[in-house]
């Protein structure tokens, strides 16, 4: 989103400038801009523009000077390290014809951290102790690259952060967020809630909540990513309590309309929701995977505390493993083939039998790009869930246009969602 370029900085408006050629090349994903944008929304600071600039001094100077004419607050990430391509601090100082000064307290911090980690003090590290005259140090509690809070022009302030996400977040939470709360840049307080859905298309969900999408406060915005659909509800009010009060009835109405398709909110995942449900029930889970190659197990194991209910799994690509480890009858493999409902069901039951788990989930499919046939095309996946109330297996066709990784990701999500629905129904 662009802002008015014609006059003085807009009251309270902020921009984000991310520095690094690797961002322009697509070598890394620009997660910093997204995270900062979310934090600005929470603080109620209007955020009007984002920009990415490579490691080029002239372009960086120009970007900073242009931003100073558009906004009140410019937040930069990247380019604060000790190497020659770390140009941010020097370029910002040059943009406002301000000399750099070495800050003894910053150099002392760099020295202490280097020694505590058993590292030698290279001459290049000293560059990180240089800040423009008049700038306030924005301390880095975990790394050596300090940032700054600097107002080189009336009504315009810069906050600089390193590109390392963990360092940037620590600096934001310890120093930047408190400063922003006191700086008078907030225009109310924002509260946000992210609702998560599986088993419903983005278009279908948008139709279900179409009238809510048109509202102005709270706003409701849809997103879709790898089978999951999300609705972000955002409210603005004078206080966090008032904003939350605005959110609550909208969330309740969306959940009522979407029913079982809404599986969680905010940091929930299908894996975390399934594990929480099993823990409440005092039951356990095992998996048997073919085409997902351990994807379901990895999703479960990524959740802290998963070992309380997730007993383990088997990756069974070869029919010999399906037979020898999971106990799938040879007759089923010969009659129906490995990619079939009977075999997927036998795999899920075999996982339960092998581990003693209450529930078993199994997948067997064709992730491609080869191996498909007219009867069993690429993208065909059979998913089975075995439990105390029986075993059910059904096929799903994901298509082949988006490739192998897409099919594996959707298969993992669909398998967990089928278990989630079974658990909620029993």
> Which residue did the predictor score with more confidence, 252 or 5?
252
| pLDDT, position 259 | 94
Residue 313 contacts residue 324 (beta carbons within 8 Å): no
Reported confidence tier of residue 1, pLDDT bands at 50, 70, 90: very low
C-alpha 195 chain-centroid distance: 14
Chosen CATH of 14-182 out of 3.40.980.10, 3.40.50.300, 2.102.10.10, 3.50.50.60:
3.40.980.10
Residue 367 C-beta-side C-alpha neighbours within 13 Å: 18
Mean pLDDT value across the chain: 93
In the predicted structure, residue 189 carries a pLDDT above the cut 90: no
In the predicted structure, residue 5 carries a pLDDT above the cut 60: no
**Which fold, 270-425?**
Maf protein (3.90.950)
Reported confidence tier of residue 6, pLDDT bands at 50, 70, 90: very low
Q: Where in the chain is the domain with CATH 3.30.70.2860?
A: 189-265
Over the stretch 367-401, which tens digit does the pLDDT of each residue have? 999 999 999 999 999 999 999 999 999 999 999 98
Reported confidence tier of residue 2, pLDDT bands at 50, 70, 90: very low
In the predicted structure, residue 9 carries a pLDDT above the cut 80: no
The residue count of the chain comes to 426
The neighbouring-strand residues paired with 14 are 47, 73
Average pLDDT over residues 1-21: 65
> Which residue did the predictor score with more confidence, 120 or 262?
262
Cα angle at 142 between 138 and 144, to 5 degrees? 65
Reported confidence tier of residue 4, pLDDT bands at 50, 70, 90: very low
Widest CA span in the chain = 81
Q: Where in the chain is the domain with CATH 3.90.950.20?
A: 270-425
In the predicted structure, residue 7 carries a pLDDT above the cut 70: no
Q: For the ranges 136-140, 152-156, 222-226, which has the lowest average pLDDT?
A: 222-226
Return the CA Rg of the chain.
27
Task: Give DSSP secondary structure letters for 291-360.
Answer: TTTTHHHHHHHTSTTGGGTEEEEEE--SHHHHHHTT---HHHHHHH-SSSHHHHHHHHHHHHHHHT-SEE
| pLDDT, position 73 | 96
| pLDDT, position 41 | 80
Reported confidence tier of residue 12, pLDDT bands at 50, 70, 90: low
Residue 378 contacts residue 371 (beta carbons within 8 Å): yes
In the predicted structure, residue 8 carries a pLDDT above the cut 80: no
| pLDDT, position 145 | 94
Task: Give DSSP secondary structure letters for 110-135.
Answer: HHHHHHHTT----GGGGGGGEEETTP
Give the highest mean pLDDT range of 39-48, 115-124, 230-239.
Answer: 230-239
Q: Which of 410, 404, 394, 331 is nearest to 367 (CA)?
A: 404
In the predicted structure, residue 187 carries a pLDDT above the cut 80: no
Per-residue b or e along 154-169, where b marks 16 or more CB atoms closer than 10 Å to that residue's CB: eebbbbbbbbbeebbb
| pLDDT, position 10 | 53
Q: How many helices (H) and strands (E) in the chain? A: 16, 17
Chosen CATH of 189-265 out of 3.30.2010.10, 3.30.43.10, 3.30.70.2860, 3.30.420.40:
3.30.70.2860
Q: Where in the chain is the domain with CATH 3.40.980.10?
A: 14-182
| pLDDT, position 46 | 86
Average pLDDT over residues 115-139: 90
């Amino acid at each position: 989103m662009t802002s008015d370029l014609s006059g003085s900085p807009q009251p309270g408006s902020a921009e984000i400038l991310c520095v690094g050629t690797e961002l322009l090349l697509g070598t890394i994903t620009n997660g910093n801009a997204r995270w900062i944008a979310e934090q600005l929304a929470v603080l109620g600071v209007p955020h009007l523009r984002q920009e990415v600039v490579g490691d080029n001094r002239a372009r960086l100077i120009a970007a900073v000077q242009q931003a100073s004419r558009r906004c009140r607050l410019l937040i930069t990430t990247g380019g604060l390290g000790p190497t020659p391509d770390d140009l941010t601090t020097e370029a910002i100082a040059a943009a406002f014809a301000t000399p750099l000064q070495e800050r003894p307290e910053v150099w002392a911090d760099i020295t202490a951290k280097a020694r505590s980690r058993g590292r030698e003090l290279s001459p290049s590290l000293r560059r990180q102790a240089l800040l423009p005259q008049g700038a306030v140090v924005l301390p880095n509690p975990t790394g050596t690259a300090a940032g700054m809070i600097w107002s080189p022009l009336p009504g315009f302030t810069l906050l600089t952060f390193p590109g390392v996400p963990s360092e940037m977040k620590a600096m934001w939470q310890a120093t930047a967020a408190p400063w922003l709360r006191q700086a008078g840049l907030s225009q109310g307080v924002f509260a946000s809630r992210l609702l998560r859905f599986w088993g419903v298309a983005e278009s279908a969900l948008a139709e279900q909540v179409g009238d809510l999408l048109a509202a102005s406060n709270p706003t409701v915005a849809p997103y879709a990513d790898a089978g999951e659909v999300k609705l972000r509800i955002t409210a603005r009010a004078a206080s966090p309590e008032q904003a939350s009060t605005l959110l609550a009835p909208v969330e309740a109405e969306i959940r009522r309309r979407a029913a079982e398709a809404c599986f969680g909110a905010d940091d929930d995942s299908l894996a975390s929701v399934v594990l929480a449900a099993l823990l409440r029930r005092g039951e356990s889970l095992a998996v048997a995977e073919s085409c997902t190659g351990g994807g379901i197990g990895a999703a479960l194991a990524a959740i802290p505390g998963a070992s309380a209910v997730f007993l383990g799994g088997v990756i069974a690509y070869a029919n010999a493993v399906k037979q020898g480890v999971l106990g799938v009858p040879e007759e089923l493999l010969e009659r129906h083939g490995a990619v079939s409902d009977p075999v997927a069901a036998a795999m899920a039951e075999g996982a339960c039998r092998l581990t003693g788990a209450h529930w078993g989930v199994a997948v067997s499919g064709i992730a491609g790009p080869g191996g498909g046939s007219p009867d069993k095309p690429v993208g065909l996946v059979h998913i089975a869930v075995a439990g105390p109330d029986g075993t059910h297996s059904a096929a799903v066709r994901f298509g082949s246009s988006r490739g192998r990784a897409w099919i594996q990701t959707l298969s993992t999500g669909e398998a967990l969602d089928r278990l989630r629905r079974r658990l909620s129904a029993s």
